[in-house]
Amino acid sequence: MAETAISLDQLAGIEKIKQYLSDKGLDLPSDPNDIQAEWSVPFMRWVAANTTAGIEATIQPVDEPGIRLGTHRDIVCDPALYNMARFDAGLPTTHIVLGSNLARLPWVKALLVANKAIFIDRSLTGRAAFDQHLAISERITEIIDSGGHVWIAQAPGRSKNGRDETHAGLLKMLAKARGGDQLGPQVLSGLVRPLAMRYDVNPCDVHLIHERLTGLKTEKDDEISMRTGLEGWKGVVRIAEGQAILTDDFTNDRAEWEDFAVRVDTAMDALNIQGQWAHEAGRALSSGDYSQLSNGFQERIQWIKNALGESGNALEADTLNGMVCEIYREGSTRRAEVNHS
């Protein structure tokens, strides 16, 4: 667990959150010794109790140090609910790698740091990006070699089209400090585990479609998405952690980083958990026939249309159906043979 000191200039924002939660029936201690144990986990239990129909978590009993490479549908809930499940299983929580755009407010950054966050600035390019990738790789390597665990999303940014596919460049970054540039994917053998998170309902679905329609995203949108993701209804949330993936058979062929990414995606799909509408969303997209969508799914689509207002009313029915189905389908289009430890 992590400890941190909260400065006075950050306290005002945190007190607002505490008061909001108190009004909702959750009272947090004023001076916690361990923010994760006394604030974060109780808060996520409150989130689970009030915004889900239950958490179904399958955590591997052998918890070796390494990277938990996760699907990414929600900015906060993906790592937070996973770490709650780990805590409740008696396992240590993970460090989490997050975009620096989530830490613009000082008090938010303080809370994230207290929850063992590592920040990556995805706006960097060129030499600055290379140096940052090496520094993050070195930090992650240090954590793992000290017996710790790191959660990181399989791709930068949330999946907005339902495709859960690992970026080969991310794997290369994770391997840099272990000599991956010279030795290839084999340096991560046994260190990467797939982690699938599935939500029956995506609370941010209307925001994702609005962003797609307008092509606009502001700094406030991340804050709105964080709050909506935490407060919005999610239905059943399913969490499944796979076995570590072996890469001893890889060499240093440049193409093998993409092969490694496909191997991760195949292992992710093999965890075989889905949200309630994932199958019918994928089937409808494949056939182009949206007439057979279930009543519950059609009701959600109508709710999204109403929430979009004029822009929703201007869309052809099948256009909106397709956009919503893209959000709710799950999995990768890629398949490979997978070796597990």
List average pLDDT for each run of 10 residues in the chain, which is 341 residues long.
Answer: 47 75 86 86 94 96 95 92 96 94 81 90 92 96 97 83 87 96 94 97 94 84 88 97 94 85 93 95 96 97 96 94 95 64 61
pLDDT at 237: 98
Going by the DSSP 8-state scheme, the letter that residue 93 receives in this structure is P
Cα atoms in the 13 Å half-sphere on the side-chain side of 194: 29
The predicted structure's pLDDT at residue 23: 86
Q: Which domains does the chain have, with CATH numbers?
A: 8-199+237-276 (3.40.1130)
d(CA 93, CA 201): 25
CB 69 within 8 A of CB 124: no
Cβ distance 200 to 276 under 8 Å? yes
Please give the pLDDT value at position 12.
64
Sign of torsion, CA 210 286 260 267? positive
Please tell me the distance from the alpha carbon of residue 32 to that of residue 288, in angstroms, as a whole number: 54
Beta partners for residue 242, in sequence order: none
Burial class (CB in 10 A: 0-12, 13-18, 19+), 119: middle
Q: Which of 262, 297, 281, 235 is nearest to 74 (CA)?
A: 235
Per-residue confidence (pLDDT) for residue 3, from 0 to 100: 41
For residue 108, the model assigns a pLDDT of: 82
- The amino acid that residue 187 corresponds to is V
